[in-house]
Amino acid sequence: MPMDLAPMVFYYRKDLFEQHGISLPRTWDEFSTAAAAVKQVDPQARICSFPLNDGSFFAGMSWQAGDPWWTAQGDTWAVDIAGEGTLRTASFWQSMISGNQVAGVVYGSQDWIAGIHDAKLWGVLGASWSVGTLNRSIPKDTGRWAVATMPTWDGKPANGIQGGTAFGVSAESKAPEAAMTFLRWLSTNPEVPKIGSAFSTPFPAHLPNRAVARQAYKGGFFLGDPVYDVLDEAAKRVPEWTWGPNALRLFSTISDSFGPVRGGGTTLPDAVRKVQQHAMADMRARGLSVREGKAA
C-alpha cells in the first residue's frame, strides 16, 4: 500500500543569490559555476553539502541520472550500481569535493543547522520533507529561501526521489484484512495529511490527498514558486527505478565505502565500483539470482 513519495528539490537562499547576481543553476554545469561564485562571495560559504554518510541521498542523485541500480529480468536481478549515469554523478561530486566546492556536513546535524543559520550553506539538496527541517531549524529565515527542481545533466527534465513510504502486510499476519483496512485509511483518509501539514509538506501518493495537503500547508516560508507546484513538477520528472532486495544494506555499504573519500583515501567513482562488487557478492551469498550490468 503506497503512502507517499519524496521528490528531491534544490532549496536555496534566493535573497543571497539575487543580491550577488548568481543565477539559479538549471544544469549541473551551472551548479558547479554557481558553487564557485558562492565561494567567491564568502570563502567560508558553500552552495550545499554532500553528505558522504547517506546512501539514500546518493541513490536519489543517481536515480535522476537514469541508470537504475536494479532491474528485475525474468528470474534474475540485473545489478548496475556502477552504471554510466551513476559514475557520471560520482565523478561530478568528486570534482566538487576535490575542488572544495561543497561542504561535508551531515544533513540535519548541528553543524548543518549552524551552516544554514549563519548563511554558510546557501542551498540544500533535499527532498519534500526538508521543508519541515528548514521550518524547524531556521524559523526566522522566512522569506529568504526558494525551491526549485533539481539541476539536470543535459537540460532534459529529470529528477530523483529520496525516500517514500509503502506498507506491506506479512504473509504470517493473522488479520491481513484488518491490516489492509487500516493501511487504506492511513493512505487515503484526507485527515491524515492535515496532521503532517502543520509542520512540513506531506506528499501523498494518493492524488486527492495530495490536494488536501497542498491546501492544508499554510506556506509563507518560501519566496517564488509555491512549494507544491515545484514538488509536483519534480515528481513528474522522475524516471523509472526499481529497488532491489538489498537496498537498505546497500545504503550502509555506501556510507562505509564513501567514508575515506573525505580524507582523499579513495574517489567517489572508485568507491561506487566497490559498492557494485559488494552488492553482487551480498546478493549471491543470499542465494539470489544476479547478473552484472544494465538490463538487456
Partner 1 sequence: MSVLAPERTPMRESPGDRVPVTDRARKKDFAGLVLAVPFAVLLVCTVLVPVLYALYLSLFTERLQGLGFSGPEHVFVWLGNYLSVIADSAFHASLGNVALFATIHIPSMLIGSLVLALLLDSGVVRLKQMWSLAVFVPYAVPVVIGGLIWAYLYSPTLGPIKNVLGVDPLSDGALLPSIANIATWQWVGYNMIIFYTALQAVPKEIVEAARADGAAWVPHRVVDQDPGDPADDLRGDGVHRHRLVAGVHRTHGAQGLHRNGDQHLVTEHVRVRGRVRGR
**Rounded least distance, CB 136 to partner 1, Å:** 17
The C-alpha cell that represents 123 in the structure block: 542551498
Q: Should residue 275 be labelled a site residue for partner 1 when binding is judged by CB under 8 A?
A: no
Figure out which of the listed residues 29, 111, 141, 292 binds partner 1, where binding follows CB under 8 A: 111
Pattern 198-237, partner 1, x by CB under 8 A: ----------------------------------------
Q: Should residue 265 be labelled a site residue for partner 1 when binding is judged by CB under 8 A?
A: yes
Figure out which of the listed residues 139, 156, 171, 296 binds partner 1, where binding follows CB under 8 A: 171
Q: Should residue 168 be labelled a site residue for partner 1 when binding is judged by CB under 8 A?
A: no
Figure out which of the listed residues 135, 245, 255, 291 binds partner 1, where binding follows CB under 8 A: 245
Q: At a CB cut-off of 8 Å and minimum separation 6, what does 115 contact?
A: 46, 49, 103, 105, 121
Q: At a CB cut-off of 8 Å and minimum separation 6, what does 9 contact?
A: 126, 127, 128, 130, 147, 148, 149, 150, 159, 230, 231, 234
DSSP structure string for 221-286: SEESS-HHHHHHHHHHT-------TTHHHHHHHHHHHHGGGTTTSS-HHHHHHHHHHHHHHHHHHT
**Rounded least distance, CB 7 to partner 1, Å:** 27
3 in the Ramachandran plot: left (φ > 0), alpha (ψ -120 to 50) or beta?
A: alpha
**Rounded least distance, CB 110 to partner 1, Å:** 6
- Of 68-76, 143-151, 187-195, 266-274: span binding partner 1 (CB under 8 A): 68-76
**Contacting partner 1 within 114-153 (CB under 8 A):** 114-115, 120
Q: Should residue 286 be labelled a site residue for partner 1 when binding is judged by CB under 8 A?
A: yes
Q: Should residue 285 be labelled a site residue for partner 1 when binding is judged by CB under 8 A?
A: yes
The C-alpha cell that represents 174 in the structure block: 493473522
Q: Should residue 77 be labelled a site residue for partner 1 when binding is judged by CB under 8 A?
A: yes
Q: Should residue 263 be labelled a site residue for partner 1 when binding is judged by CB under 8 A?
A: yes
- Of 15-23, 26-34, 108-116, 228-236: span binding partner 1 (CB under 8 A): 108-116
Figure out which of the listed residues 72, 186, 195, 248 binds partner 1, where binding follows CB under 8 A: 72
Q: Which of 71, 85, 77 is nearest to 282 (CA)?
A: 77
Give the number of other CB atoms < 10 A from CB of residue 2: 13
User: H/E/C letters for each residue in 98-134?
Assistant: HCCCCECCCCCCHHHHHHHHCCCECEEEEECCHHHHH
Looking at the DSSP bridge assignments, the partners of residue 240 are none
Residues that bind partner 1 (CB under 8 A): 72, 75-77, 105, 110-111, 114-115, 120, 171, 245, 256, 260, 262-263, 265, 285-289
